[in-house]
Structure 1
Amino acid sequence: MTATALKPTDSTDTRQPLCTKADLVAFSGVAAWLTTSQGAVQIALFYLPGHGNELFALDHQDPFSKAYVIARGIVGDIKGSPVIASPIYKQHFRLEDGQCLEDESVQLRTWRVGFQGDEVWVERE
């Protein structure tokens, strides 16, 4: 999703700080834990500076192998859309919406993510 300023409003806020911009690796993925009302989940953060949407968050679990490896995939571009290639079976997922390009029935969950100053914040729900 797009990188936007996410600011906490009160104790019922659904946004959570995860890390700082310095923790991210440009044009690569980083795995993080996100606390939700259903428990903790692993997400993959991708930072593409200079790209229109420069920060993306997707589920970290590869739906084909069930391994938590999406953050370790190779970032690329297919038809103008930024994608991540899973390191196991090499399926490509669009960073913008999590859609698998090889199998239309499969889609990774995406999370609204953005910067607040130098902190990375993610919408939990």
Structure 2
Amino acid sequence: MTTVAVQTRVELLTGRTWTPVCDWDQLAPGRGVAVLLPDGQQAALFRDANDRVHAVSNRDPFTGAYVLSRGLIGSTADGRVYVASPLLKQRFDLVTGECLDDETARIPVHTTRLTDH
């Protein structure tokens, strides 16, 4: 008898299509990874300390560099999970995309889901 291991996959909604981007076990809590989307854009994918998956644009709007996946994850006193840019340290809410340090800035947020395959 053969046993098939079920893997959990992370998918992002791109347009009207769900796009597989990586396996769940490839995401380490508190660390980000960059993924290339079908349209050529980059997303920064994060698994937080509560095992929730977040995806935002990988582009830092203040510098134009594609570095947010290398940023540090943290949370505010009221529980908002954010990524701090590794360059200028601005913090971006991983749920809303708004900059916690400059209300005029925001980054795109991607819808995520987990599926078994």
Q: TM class by shorter-chain length?
A: 0.7 to 0.9
Task: Please give the TM-score of this superposition, normalised by the length of structure 2.
Answer: 0.81
Task: Please give the TM-score of this superposition, normalised by the length of structure 1.
Answer: 0.76
Structure 1 residue aligned with 2:30, among 23, 27, 47? 27
Shift of 1:13: 5.0
- Matched position secondary structure for 1:22: helix
Which portions of structure 1, spanning 4 or more consecutive aligned residues, are displaced by more than 4 angstroms? none
Greater RCO structure (CA 8 Å; 6+ sep): 1
* 1:64-108 deviation line (CA, Å, top 9, x unaligned): 011110000000011311110000000000011110011111111
Shift of 1:40: 1.2
Q: Residues 100, 23 of structure 1: CA spacing in aligned structure 2 closer, same or farther, 3 A cutoff? A: same
* 1:21-69 deviation line (CA, Å, top 9, x unaligned): 122121111100111xxx2110000002525xx0100000100011110
The correspondence of residues 1-125 of structure 1 with structure 2, limited to 5 A, is 14-35=17-38, 39-50=39-50, 54-79=52-77, 80-117=79-116
* RMSD between aligned residues: 1.9
The code of the aligned residue for 2:84 comes to A
Q: Answer yes or no: is the 8 Å Cα contact 2:29–2:49 preserved in 1.
A: yes
Distance 1:95 1:107 in 2: 11
- Matched position secondary structure for 2:64: coil
Q: Which runs of 5+ in 1 are unaligned?
A: 7-11, 119-125
Identity in percent: 34
Highest Rg: 1 or 2? 2
Q: Which runs of 5+ in 2 are unaligned?
A: 1-9
